[in-house]
Structure 1
């Protein structure tokens, strides 16, 4: 397994000015990274050559000439002429020291007048992890990092809190209890593995048919009772056990759900006023779910959307509001409750503050088995492990505009609920794209869909997001702790924006276009990029001698394949992050390479859609 220590593209979140770290879009609006203090003699030489050409072509010594060059060639405001003053070479060089000469065109202001489903959203997957999917730390710093980089959809996997133990810290660590310094890997002192210890702790053993019937009867009676669910409390401490955040059935380290709520409260709207989506993966029992509701209401008071904007509507009936309607609001994405007779589980502060009662953990066994996959071995005659625990009504109600449903097909009844959202792995979504591309495209014009990396990406690698954006998927969740092609494309999509980007016109709910092929104009492209020189390229961590450093520039185009728009199987199922067209410059041995005006050319590139094609 690749470890964080050896993987140069994987690392813990940066805490020193994370907004300067590219990936989510905010780096492109940070002025400091667009400014340099001095130009190397090599760059000055190239700029002098360019200046001499422009003086003759545009007469830069005149106000009219400066304005014409700025508007025609630089495609920027004539107001920048003030930086060029009299048009002399010294002012011309100063212009390139400033952020005004940034090669990236400023992003247009976001039109916030459309319903929420008409936007692409900068989104994170397993936000709590700081490294790989099996053994890395969970940290609130990861939430701070992505929120300051422009992320507008974070994910929280929530599990039952452990009973506070009077035993040794080693045993606490082995069981994953709060307060333990670390979780033991592999087996505990008893020699039992994690899954076996969980079975013993929560009683998830092979039960007889009579025991199963009795358990079902007891659970049903508890849900039908008029008595509110009591918070799960420990008998060995005055402190109650509270929900935890971690990647289930792995060696990843945990943190408290309370701490995550606090971090989101503090950083949700630091760099963007547009709504933040909190995607909940709920693995907790009803008692712990009620604590989740209490904590979210406590920490996100005034920001949390807990009712439709039109109070006369239910979540199933409500239409999606416009982006403008939800500025500075937190939206919860959670599974919709499907109880035949919902339990009364509204938060009751007087109950939560009452003296602790004996520990009662009625349905933890269900949550223990919730992450088992269909490929798990099941003894003959036994049913597969139970699914995730049912979401209580109080928690489900918080999914006002993002009610999550299990995907059964685009023609399922819930597919017409305005506020529904489907979450599919990259593999499952590609299968839908192959079997019903027009249906998928039409669905995503009006309703939300979320794509996430498949579970086998253990090193936190990412899918190719542009394939899914071109299918109209709004929420393409990426592992922000990995700097790879997927995150580079995410930076390109959201560069300079507040994390929400309006879809191309043919992708919106107002369009009558029936499929991806017709939704947006396709062009042929001839592209040439000329490289002058570079200065002060930082050495990689493993290098200490500039003479051993051999930089070059690789250019890739990420363009829609003809299979994508013609309803054919996409090569590699969209997994590859590599561009369809690739070229590179010559290699040099220096941190100040002179590229000598080398031109990288792409000619006759077909299928280019300006809004959804990326140069990397």
Structure 2
């Protein structure tokens, strides 16, 4: 699979008005500039004159009654739009189409925040820190800024052990940008008194995975009996300790400080939405660095972080999920918890979703979340860049102080929908797209029932090296709330994400039959299915930007392709879904004739779809 840097669908995060960038849903509501045009070309003006004349005869647009009838019957607008048409002249008709009122997307309904949070679909990002492909791209805080301003409400952070910092002033200045304290020169003598021996410091610099087998059997720091808490490597300055870093492990991707990510999330979490933000942690760090993670999250997210249940008298296994309204402007951590029952010694091998490259004489480690989110029906082996399958490694352990931050989003290893942890109100199962489709095939009724009450997360399989996306609507229709997508790629998956969340604050209430209050037992009966006849008339295109690879408008050949993303009969009837939900292409697709200009004239060409079965208003998309 290609990972070319010239992939036209991949792009570094836009920082110039990212809220106007499609994919996250905010573009349709955040700024009028996303819904209006400054002018119409002579070609468009000609078509509007013709259409006005036709409508004037049909509706008598010169009268206020005729204007009202056209707006309510055909345009589905409100009385407020009447002022744009005024006397119904062609000039005012022209002004109406320049305004946002003529947008094909109707405004989203206000979100009903009274339901428990598992009753919503959530706009979600996968490997949020990456700016390109999964193998060799940069990691950047700009990626977090970009998706948060576009309406994302669930971001992902893969956290690894950091290197011990150098004494260089550039390192110090870089960290101080994110609030690290300044170090006085006289304090440098304290380096030898940091409380850690040379071996421990080397482990932190080069990673615990380099420790000997004997060392790994020893506790990393003194613990009290029955307590997982580890003494943190405290310091008045970051200079004397390694701090966690964020990257895609065992790849060529670049890293960035966990501190910097926390600062960026603090600054942009609630710029475009007041609804809660979920931070999904994949923890690869040693216990000491996990303590630093907790320290930094408490430092940067003070006043925003949910670190105690709304009802502190109940344990994490007993508390119920709060309503969306109760969590406004709050950051929720999703992190691994210990299993309810101790696993037996002979366990099946976990399946990582992290791309793993060879490391001589070292055992590979996978994240706690990767292990927790895997299912053992069919192993998805880790694969190195050269295609060689690699062995898996033991689960890293998440310490209590970090695990306890997963108040309402505790990750558990998926053993089945009847496992004890599947009944815990605050649990989350994370499964790869293929694993989740296997559950859908073998136990669709159980999957649908589970997702009415509890959280589930779907993520792209590890072999999507070019950051391609799964087909999100297949998983939404199975009730999955968190469908994680690669926002740096503009493809069919992100187009559907735009359709789902357009004009919303990133949380969308599920259809009534999908909610915890419903008694509907299956996906097939949860919503009303219709037959659809759809026709779309194309007038013209205007000022279409040339692709980066083109420089001559005469060589540009635009056309419009239309796809319907409709529930397949296999989804409704508990059968294997073709392609396991991987393909983003709609089952129904047609396209216009090809033109040869940046201002194409489609000549009122009509594309029709007739007798389309299985259409649901909330979960069918036109792309």
Question: How would you bin the TM-score normalised by the shorter chain?
Answer: 0.7 to 0.9
Kept in 2: contact 1:233–1:241 (CA 8 A) = no
Give the drift of 1:238: 4.4
2:166/2:239 contact within 8 Å kept: no
Secondary structure at 1:407's aligned position in 2?
coil
Q: What root-mean-square deviation, in Å, do the aligned CA atoms of Structure 1 and Structure 2 show?
A: 2.9
State the distance in 2 between where 1:125 and 1:59 align. Answer: 52
Alignment TM-score, normalising by the size of structure 2? 0.85
Q: Which residue of 1 aligns with 2:552?
A: 545
The CA deviation at 1:78 is 1.2
Alignment of 1:440-589 (within 5 A): 440-589=447-596
Question: After the TM superposition, which residues 54-203 of structure 1 pair with which residues of structure 2 at under 5 Å, given as runs?
Answer: 54-165=55-166, 201-202=206-207
1:225 Cα offset (Å)? 7.8
How far apart are 1:469 and its partner, in Å? 0.3
Q: CA deviation at 1:62?
A: 1.4
CA 88–376 in structure 1, closer or farther in 2 if over 3 Å, else same: closer
| CA distance in 1: counterparts of 2:56 and 2:75, whole angstroms | 15
Contact 2:230 2:399 in 1 (8 A): no
Offset at residue 602 of structure 1 (A): 0.7
In structure 1, the residue matched to 2:223 is 222
Distance 1:76 1:207, change over 3 A: same
Give 1:322 deviation, angstroms.
Answer: 0.7
Cα distance per residue 1:444-495 (max 9 Å; x no partner): 0000000000000000000000000000000000000000000000000000
The one-character-per-residue Cα deviations of 1:51-104 (angstroms, maximum 9, x if unpaired) are 111112211111121111111111011111111111111011011111111111
Q: What is the aligned partner in structure 1 of residue 20 from structure 2?
A: 20
In 1, distance between residues paired with 2:605 and 2:8? 29
1:327-342 matched pairs, under 5 angstroms = 327-337=328-338
Corresponding position of 1:183: none
Quote the residue 2:281 is aligned against: 280
SS in 2 for 1:289: helix
TM-score when normalising by structure 1:
0.86
Distance 1:227 1:41 in 2: 72
User: Contact between 2:9 and 2:489, CA under 8 Å: does it hold in 1?
Assistant: yes
Query: Residue 223 of structure 2 contacts residue 229 of structure 2 at CA under 8 Å; is this kept in 1?
Result: no
- Looking at structure 1, the residues matched to 211 and 259 of structure 2 have their Cα atoms a distance apart, in angstroms, of 34
Structure 1 residue 409 corresponds to structure 2 residue 416: yes
Counterpart-to-counterpart distance in 1, 2:132 and 2:10: 6
Q: Compute the displacement of 1:538 (Å).
A: 1.1
**What is the CA–CA distance in structure 1 between the aligned matches of 2:149 and 2:90, rounded to whole Å?**
38
What is the rounded CA distance, in whole Å, between the counterparts of 2:247 and 2:75 in structure 1? 49
1:284–1:367 Cα contact (<8 Å) kept: no
Name the residue aligned to 2:357.
Answer: none
2:398 is aligned, of 391, 416, 419, to 391
Equivalent residue number for residue 438 of structure 2: 431
Q: What stretches of structure 1 of length at least 5 have no aligned partner?
A: 170-196, 342-364, 378-383
Aligned residues: 558
Q: What are the superposed Cα offsets for residues 526-570 of structure 1, whole Å, 9 maximum, x if unpaired? A: 111111112111111111111111111000011111011111111
Go from structure 1 to structure 2 and tell me whether the alpha carbon gap of 1:4 and 1:110 turns closer, same or farther (over 3 Å shift).
Answer: farther
CA 1:366–1:397: 2 relative to 1, 3 Å: farther
Residues in 2 aligned to 1:105 and 1:339: alpha-carbon distance in whole angstroms: 46
For 2:160 and 2:263, locate their aligned partners in 1 and report how far apart those are by CA, in whole Å: 17
Q: Secondary structure in 2 aligned to 1:222?
A: coil
